[in-house]
Amino acid sequence: MINGKNSLGKKKVPIIVREIRNNPPLPVNFAVEKNISYSQLSMFTQCPKKWSLQYRDGHKISEQSIHMTFGTALHEVIQHYLDKIYEVSGAAADRIDLEELFEDTLRKCYANDYKKNNNEHFSSPTELREFFEDGKEILRFIKKKRNLYFKKKGTYLVGCEVPIVVAPSLRLNRVKYMGYLDVVLYHEATNTFKIIDIKTSTKGWNKWAKKDESKQFQLILYKYFFSKQYNIPIENIDIEFFIVRRKIYVDGDYPQKRVQQFYPASGKVKLNKAKNNLNEFISKAFNLDGSYKDTIFRANPSKWNCTFCPYKENTELCNAVGKNL
């Protein structure tokens, strides 16, 4: 070892990082176990009827959109770029042709989602070109500002898409909370981890979005389960939403930032709220043996919920559209 590097010139990876990388959780055994996720929790909180149709009753409908495809493709490219920064060097990362990589990834993701959408297009060539150009601008910005957002000194990449599979309840161990953490970093000097969730948004998050506790619960629960999964003191874990604006407006007295960094409070009060929200969902949806409860779940009709609901045209499955709007 010379100056903290091995004979190949690479930084020696801390033991705690190696242990997490080398000890992924056991996957969910779908033959006898159920998995839940933040997406399920969010959907149940929004509309229990929609959750029951999607997950319990077998009426899952593919919901494809260019926004989702764009987000998936941008996630992959940013994660690849970060992997190169931390595992090789910033110079090596900057040699990646991010524009070409993003174009290839966007094409691949669209082709996959096209198949999921019963081989039906859900975007136009003009719209695809617009989203591609927006992605190029985002990646140029991140590349230019990488030292601002992703400091490398003393920091190690634990991984991208780091898995968690944890039973939230000892009484209900056949239900597992499953998730994938976009980016996890480890800062050696302070012995702290940072869980970063990358969000793509057309205009960013306004103050109301930042106050939405249901959004915050995602990272708060990730922090809690990451702590349990890998036996890490919860106070040694920070969380961050890395929100990328697809559209920015440069005119005016207050030019917008391309990236918003939001650090939600995640102390005991917020954690208890998030856990109570999750426990309420589990108690209403599952029996102690892990099977679904045979409960009639009611719809929660509202203009927002019903306008974007994939079941709004199917009155046999749900006739709540238009009520109380």
Structural domains for the chain: 12-21+33-46+154-249+256-296 (3.90.320), 62-152 (no CATH)
Query: Is the Cβ–Cβ distance between 34 and 266 less than 8 Å?
Result: no
Lowest average pLDDT, out of 243-247, 276-280, 318-322, goes to: 318-322
Q: How confident is the model at residue 172 (pLDDT cuts 50, 70, 90)?
A: confident
How high is the pLDDT of residue 153?
92
As a whole number, mean pLDDT of residues 289-301 equals 93
> Position 207: which residue type?
K
How high is the pLDDT of residue 5?
45
**Cβ density class 38-51: b for 16+ within 10 Å, e for less:** bebbbbbbbbbbbb
CA distance 44 to 26: 26
pTM listed for this prediction: 0.92
As a whole number, mean pLDDT of residues 39-52 equals 95
How high is the pLDDT of residue 136?
97
Over the stretch 87-146, which tens digit does the pLDDT of each residue have?
999 999 999 999 999 999 999 999 999 999 989 999 999 999 999 999 999 999 999 999
Q: Name, in order, each residue with C-beta under 8 angstroms of 108's C-beta and a sequence gap of 6 or more.
A: 73
How high is the pLDDT of residue 32?
86
As a whole number, mean pLDDT of residues 190-211 equals 96
| Residue 192 confidence (pLDDT) above 70 | yes
How high is the pLDDT of residue 170?
80
CA distance 236 to 26: 24
How high is the pLDDT of residue 4?
40
How high is the pLDDT of residue 1?
27
As a whole number, mean pLDDT of residues 19-42 equals 93
What's the CA dihedral at 78, 11, 25, 36 to 10 degrees? -30
Q: How confident is the model at residue 8 (pLDDT cuts 50, 70, 90)?
A: very low
How high is the pLDDT of residue 2?
29
Please provide the average confidence, as pLDDT, over all residues in the chain: 92
Q: How confident is the model at residue 322 (pLDDT cuts 50, 70, 90)?
A: low
Q: How confident is the model at residue 314 (pLDDT cuts 50, 70, 90)?
A: confident
CA distance 218 to 38: 6
Over the stretch 257-270, which tens digit does the pLDDT of each residue have?
899 999 999 999 99
Q: How far is CA 192 from the centre of its chain?
A: 21
Q: How far is CA 35 from the centre of its chain?
A: 16
Q: How confident is the model at residue 3 (pLDDT cuts 50, 70, 90)?
A: very low
Continuous H helices in the chain: 15-22, 38-46, 48-51, 66-87, 90-94, 98-116, 125-144, 146-149, 207-211, 213-230, 268-285, 303-307
Q: How confident is the model at residue 253 (pLDDT cuts 50, 70, 90)?
A: low
| Residue 47 confidence (pLDDT) above 60 | yes
How high is the pLDDT of residue 323?
53
Percent of the chain's residues with pLDDT above 70? 93
Distances (CA, A) of 104 to 73, 85, 107, 244, 292: 9, 21, 5, 20, 41
| Residue 324 confidence (pLDDT) above 60 | no
